[in-house]
Amino acid sequence: MHTIHDTQSFSFASDNYAGMHPRVLAALAAANQGHLSAYGEDVYTQALQQKMQTLFGESAHCFPVFNGTGANVTALQAMLPRWGAVICAETAHINCDEGIAPEYAGGVKLLPVPTPDGKLTPGLIDQQAWGFGVPHRAQPGAVYISQTTELGTCYSVAEIKVLADHCHQLGMMLYMDGARLANAVAALSVDVKTMTTDAGVDMLSFGGTKNGMMLGECVLTLNPSLAQAMPYLRKINSQLGSKMRFISAQFLALLEADLWLELARHSNAMAQKLYTGIQAIPELTITQLPQANAVFAQMPLSVAAQLHQQYHFYDWNQHTGEVRWMTSFDTTEAQVEAFVKDIQAAFAAAR
């Protein structure tokens, strides 16, 4: 097959738009030889399990899946009884971007809480953590956070530990959606085990798709009591890959020599470069201080429409004119500079 798209095209819509890192692509070719056992009974998946235990601790068990929605649904099912509910930020990915998958496919009731920055606090959790033992109310059993959040903000290790302790005191568990965990680890310059296992997170997803892989996420049980259900729930949710070696091989390449952190540092740096380049535009308002690889800004709808003629990006809130610009592992400085010039030109034309 010949390439049928413009290979010089780029956007600031999502890190999902980026392709694969060459080392990850090479890992697929390396794994694509001979016959290996299916459904995770292969040497690549076994090696990945050992690597994840090195990163997250000996009690960690990893379960590769196809995508983020499948990871979230499967993990929350493992954490909750049939009558359970999960508390999340109103802007949470499971509440805004996964259709009704958590509730329809997962059978999980969502209890959202408004937040100014996408982050939960014990006080915000308590707004929904009530009605325990009341059969008329879905029973809060887990709290969902994402790292980074949907608004590009990061939880500190101390904040995560406070949340985990609060959840456990209430008899609940803490789940972390780590689709962009690499960006948070890179931004905060902390060890990933310190941010997750040591902080008291019970379960998390470890993202790969947004950081140089073709597809794949890993669900990690850090609380040993949650591991037993995962093989069955992964199958029920159509997340058990028969040729799992190709998901696992990608992760092994991403984790080798800390490539995952190198790529995340680069995408974060490109977001900071973008942020620096647009700060001087008086009519543009930064709505969230960029902490990782996302820049949120408010602008006139006419200016956004002008930019949309050249670039893909998300209109985050059409009522307020808020947009989201995201950088990726393959975003270049030249691309950011060109985008900044076009943003400045669009504002100049609208004056």
pLDDT at 350 over 90: no
Residue 256 one-letter amino acid: E
- 261-287 CB burial, b ≥16 within 10 A, e <16: bebbbbbbbbbbbbbebbeebeebeeb
Is the pTM higher than 0.95? The answer reads yes
With residue 178 as reference, give the H or E element that holds it: strand 173-178
Which CATH class name applies to 21-258? alpha beta
Q: E strands of 222-301, at which residues? A: 285-288, 294-298
In this prediction, residue 204 carries a pLDDT of 98
pLDDT at 130 over 90: yes
How far, rounded to the nearest angstrom, does the alpha carbon of residue 324 sit from its chain's CA centroid? 15
pLDDT at 131 over 80: yes
- What angle do the packed helices 333-350 and 301-308 form, to 10 degrees? 130
- Looking at 3.40.109.10, 3.90.1150.10, 3.10.450.50, 3.40.30.10, the CATH number of the domain 259-350 comes to 3.90.1150.10
Average per-residue pLDDT in the chain? 97
pLDDT at 289 over 80: yes
Tens-place pLDDT, residues 172-222: 999 999 999 999 999 999 999 999 999 999 999 999 999 999 999 999 999
Tens-place pLDDT, residues 11-23: 999 999 999 999 9
How is residue 213 annotated by DSSP?
-
Tens-place pLDDT, residues 223-251: 999 999 999 999 999 999 999 999 999 99
Closest C-alpha to 197, from 216, 176, 211: 176
Tens-place pLDDT, residues 46-93: 999 999 999 999 999 999 999 999 999 999 999 999 999 999 999 999
Domain ranges of the chain: 21-258, 259-350
